[in-house]
Amino acid sequence: MSRRLLLVDDEDAIRTIASISLERIGGWTVLQAPSGQAALEAAQDDGPFDAVLMDVMMPGLDGPSTLERMRAGLLPNHVPVVFLTAKVGQADRDRLLSLGAIGVIPKPFDPMTLPETLRQVLDQSSSE
Amino acid sequence: MDNRRLNHADKRSSPSLTASRVAVISLGIYLVVYVSWQLFHWLPGKQQLGQAFLIPADMAALCSTLLAARRCPGSPRLRSFWLWMSAAMAAEMIADIFLLKYNIQYNNPPFPTIADAFFLSFFVLLFLALLRVPVAPLTQAKRLQIMLDGAIIVLGGGAIVWYFLLGPTAKEGGQSALAMAVSLAYPVGDLILLAGLAVLLLRRSPPTLKVALLLIAAGALTSIVADVVYGYGVLHNTYKSGDPIDIFYVLAFLLFALAGISQEPVQSDDPVALPGDWSQPTPRVSWLPYITAPIGFGLLIGVESGRPFFPDLSLVLILTMIGGLVAARQYMSLRELARAERARRDSERRSRAIFQNAGVGITVSDLKGPTIIDVNQTFSDMVGYTPEELRGGDFAALTHPDELEAYQSLTIDTLDGFQREIRFLRRDGTALWGSLTLSLLRDEPGVPRNVIGVLQDITTRKEAENVKDEFISVVGHELRTPLTSIRGSLGLLEGGVFGELPQEATSMIALAVTNTDRLVRLINDMLDIERMDAGRTELELAPVKASELIANATQIVQIPATQAQVTLTTEILEDPVLYVDGDTIVQVLVNLLGNAIKFSPRWSTVTITVALKTGQALISVTDTGRGIPADRLETIFERFRQVDSSDAREKGGSGLGLAIARNIVEHHGGEMGVESQIGRGSTFHFTLPLADRRVTMLICGHHNGGTGTDSDHVTELQAIAPAIAAGTVLVVEDDPSLGEVLTKTLSHKEITTRLVRNAEDAVEEIRRSQPRVLLLDLMLPGESGFTVIERLRGKGLLSDTHLLVYTALDLNSGDRERLQLGHTEFLSKASITPQDVERRITRLIGKPKETV
């Protein structure tokens, strides 16, 4: 039984590429959500998930706000959330981590190595 | 200027000055001896031997002028002046020796003799010497004036000489033609000398000769007086050899000797020895003719009325001539003054026209205020007021409030040449972007009087720049999003996620990948440059080891290096902790390494070295590639300037990489450069700041003179203590009991506490023990805590520190400014916990060393 991942990104192309990469190379079962609102619904209806990979900048409900609402009962605290973002300054990283995310993967990502990068982030947080 | 002062100071103690003093004193003693010989009639009956006293005076003058010539080896003109002077002195000495011989030989010496030939050559030689004096170049009008002055002097003097000497001599007759000619030659020689001196005194002489020329003039005048008296004595048969009037001659030659002594050493004709200002003739009305001419008239009339030697007609003629010349001279002076006035008014009108019609705004304001004294029309149009409204107003009031701090650091010294792009406020409240240049207007002695501001309206340019920046930013981001998807899809295809592709398809995809990468790089570089230009790059400075950054960078370029069969080696001589934005420095290193790999031949090595250089880290990347031509070493750092324009296509660079790299390094306060040899390779090197700057905490509080301990301070410090690890905490507290409690509570096995009561002791203690933490009561009675910081600033203490001001006080911007010391950061107790502060310190200075 492969692990289930919720992928949240407003860009169709990015979502498609990431999910192909994660499914074919990483062996995840990926459920896609095109917006924060859709992600909240997915968390409620299609759970449980083993991890959430979420874009930061999205129209409507952005990544941090979505995370905040998910943590309010929709998503168990032990489920790791990783952000995808183009901004990777130390301050941005610190801010995202302080919201309860366990890691940040910079955009643009290489689809060939994305599953490996994600695995490292998850391993690191579980070993701590 | 300094140089000259230095030379002067040297001379004060030099032996040559002592020698000059001895010489001057000896000459004085000699004069005293001679005068007393004349007064007290020693050796009665040997009166004619008085002539012998002249010879040592001549000798002194000869020696001193020769020495003066030797002191001017660097200036041929001055040297030749003194040599001609010494020739004149020698002629006089020879003449005096002959005269002495005749005086001893004959009771009634013959006239003229060979002595007279030497006496006359003295005049000629002295005159020639005066011609050698370097003088300022003259205008036509000035030359005419001098000629008129000379004519007036010669005519006035000539009239005197004629009525005293020549007239009577001519009337007496009974002498040989030669004797007649020689006795006429003396006063003529005097006149020529007088004219020569007059010309010199009217023109401006070089400062190095000023004293000497005055002494020579005094000597020559004395000598002329002596000649006149002598001539009178000879004519009236009252002159005897060794007569007391010889005192004048002795005095004259002692003055010449003094002139020689007064010559300061001149090493060269450089501007220090002969400063430029002496050669600038200042327009002035010469007083000399107006003094000489009346004396001439007076004497003429006096002599004429008493002793009518001459027919009235010639007197009228001479008077008319002198009168005419003086009038001509007067006219010349007035005309020159009128012309100067006209030129001044023209220049004033011209300046005014330029001021009013200049395409830039110009303001003139005083040093205080600054209050506007005058503005031109362009400036008033720019800000939307009338010039009348602006005059008398405050210049700062026109400046945009956000920009006022730009002026705050200005002093008289930094103001001159101040240039800045600054916002102003128009009358309607809109912003005016201006490029402002300030300069000082000084008066004649160089005292600053006014500030001139030149303002160029760059609002349109600024707006265009903003539009351009925004355009690049938007287009860049819009391009990047689809490109990311294209690159991602290509990556999946290339990676074989969808199975093996036909050979041709694989190569097509590789082509697409390479070019997509290139396009992505170009867009990223463009966005980087745009961000830097717009000043939006914010560096996240943190301490990081140089080796760590290099390891990151080499890891990134390892794959292309392997593909190019280039070996990367790292030589870390020192591994300093840098205070940099790590990501951007890795970007710089990747760029330099990428270039080095691209241009390196196969099987070669690219070397990265780290060393320390004058308080900074020096990182170099060396390749053994084809090298860069010398004329390109600077331009390669400009945008889109590759060594070879085909490089862009062949090597896939954007042409922006080095510009970005240098920009990043400069943002860190470092410098980037390159050295290269064609065919041998290149070394790119750059410097970066070190992290070993000290961090000082300033914890500010105040107690309202009340009771109890400030328990907050104690808990705060205990939280921060781990970051401090070891060091001194200085408590500045005037309340003895509170101070006691604070120090006791804070004392820790690694931490030393010191207590001082006032600002003065605090500064002293900070200088001595360099504390890590300063607990400062801002409201110390009498002198405030601010005083401590101000004194530290005054003494340059803690200026290299990273000062963290941690306070619960509500500091306004003025307070903050007063607390600035080196790099200063304000942390408010309201929003930042002591634990945050500890983390902040740790990030600044790295992890505290573990005590093993």
Measured between CB atoms, does B482 come within 8 Å of chain A? yes
Say if the Cβ atoms of A109 and B583 lie within 8 Å: no
B46 or B185: whose pLDDT is higher? B185
Nearest to A17 among B488, B542, B583 (CB): B488
Long-range contacts of range A42-45, CB-CB < 8 Å, 24 or more positions apart?
A42/A6, A43/A6, A43/A70, A43/A74, A43/A75, A44/A74
CA distance B581 to chain A (A): 10
Q: Chain A, 10-69: which have a CB under 8 Å from a chain B CB?
A: 11, 13-14, 17-18, 20-21, 24-25
B-chain residues within 8 Å CB-CB of A13? Answer: 482, 484-485, 488-489
Chain A residues with CB under 8 Å of B484 CB are 13-14, 107-108
Distance CA B440, CA B367 (A): 9
CA distance B661 to B259: 68
* pTM listed for this prediction: 0.46
* Closest C-alpha to A9, from A29, A41, A34: A34
Residue A40 has pLDDT above 70, yes or no: yes
pLDDT digits (tens, 9 = 90+) for B270-317: 443 444 444 444 444 455 556 665 666 665 555 545 544 444 565 667
Q: In what order do the strands lie in the sheet with B802-807?
A: B751-756, B727-732, B773-777, B695-701, B802-807, B823-828
Beta B672-677 vs B605-613: how paired, if at all?
Answer: unpaired
Query: Which residue in A13, A25, A107 is closest to B497 by CB distance?
Result: A25
- Going by pLDDT thresholds of 50, 70 and 90, the confidence category of residue B346 is very high
pLDDT digits (tens, 9 = 90+) for A62-113: 888 999 888 888 888 888 999 988 766 667 788 888 888 888 898 888 888 9
Portion of chain B with pLDDT greater than 70, in percent: 71
Put simply, the answer to whether B540 touches A90 (Cβ < 8 Å) is yes
Query: Which of A5, A54, A49 shows the shortest CA–CA distance to A27?
Result: A5
Q: What is the pLDDT of residues B752-776, one digit of tens each?
A: 777 787 777 877 777 776 676 777 7
Asked whether B712 and B653 are in contact (CB, 8 A), the reply is no
Mutate to test the interface with B, among A9, A17, A57, A98 (most CBs of B within 10 A): A17
Q: Where are the domains of chain A?
A: 4-123
User: What contacts B690, CB < 8 A, 6 or more positions away?
Assistant: B576, B577, B578, B579, B612, B615, B616, B617
Min Cα distance B618 → chain A (Å) is 25
pLDDT digits 0-9 by tens, B132-150: 877 666 667 776 777 777 7
Which positions in chain A touch B839 (Cβ < 8 Å)?
none
Length of chain B: 852
Quick one: average pLDDT of B78-106? 89
pLDDT, average across residues B172-201: 69
pLDDT of B462-517, one tens digit each? 888 888 888 887 887 788 888 889 999 999 998 888 888 899 999 999 999 988 98
From chain A, the residues in CB contact with B524 under 8 A are: none
A107 in contact with B, Cβ within 8 Å: yes
Structure tokens at B654: 């954007």
- Contact residues on chain B for A108, CB-CB shorter than 8 A: 480, 484, 487-488, 520
Provide the ipTM.
0.87
Q: Work out the mean pLDDT of chain B and round it to a whole number.
A: 76
Which residues of B are less than 8 Å from A24 in CB distance? 497
Closest alpha carbon to B79 in B326, B273, B319: B273
- Please tell me if residue A97 touches chain B, with a CB cutoff of 8 Å: no
- For B584-632, the pLDDT digits (tens) are 899 899 999 998 998 888 889 999 999 887 778 899 999 988 888 888 8
B754 or B5, greater pLDDT: B754
Residue B733 has pLDDT above 90, yes or no: no
Given this model, what pLDDT does residue B3 score?
Answer: 41
Q: Confidence class of residue B518 from pLDDT cuts 50, 70 and 90?
A: confident
Nearest CA in chain A to B540: A90
Res B74 pLDDT > 80: no
Q: What is the pLDDT, as a whole number, of residue B90?
A: 94
Does B583 lie at the interface with A, CB-CB under 8 angstroms?
yes
CA nearest to B493 within chain A: A112
Predicted confidence (pLDDT) at residue B9 exceeds the cutoff of 50: no
CATH 3.40.50.620 is the classification of domain A4-123:
no
B191 versus B249: the higher-pLDDT residue is B249
Tokens at B169, concatenated: 């001599």
Supply the pLDDT for residue A5.
93
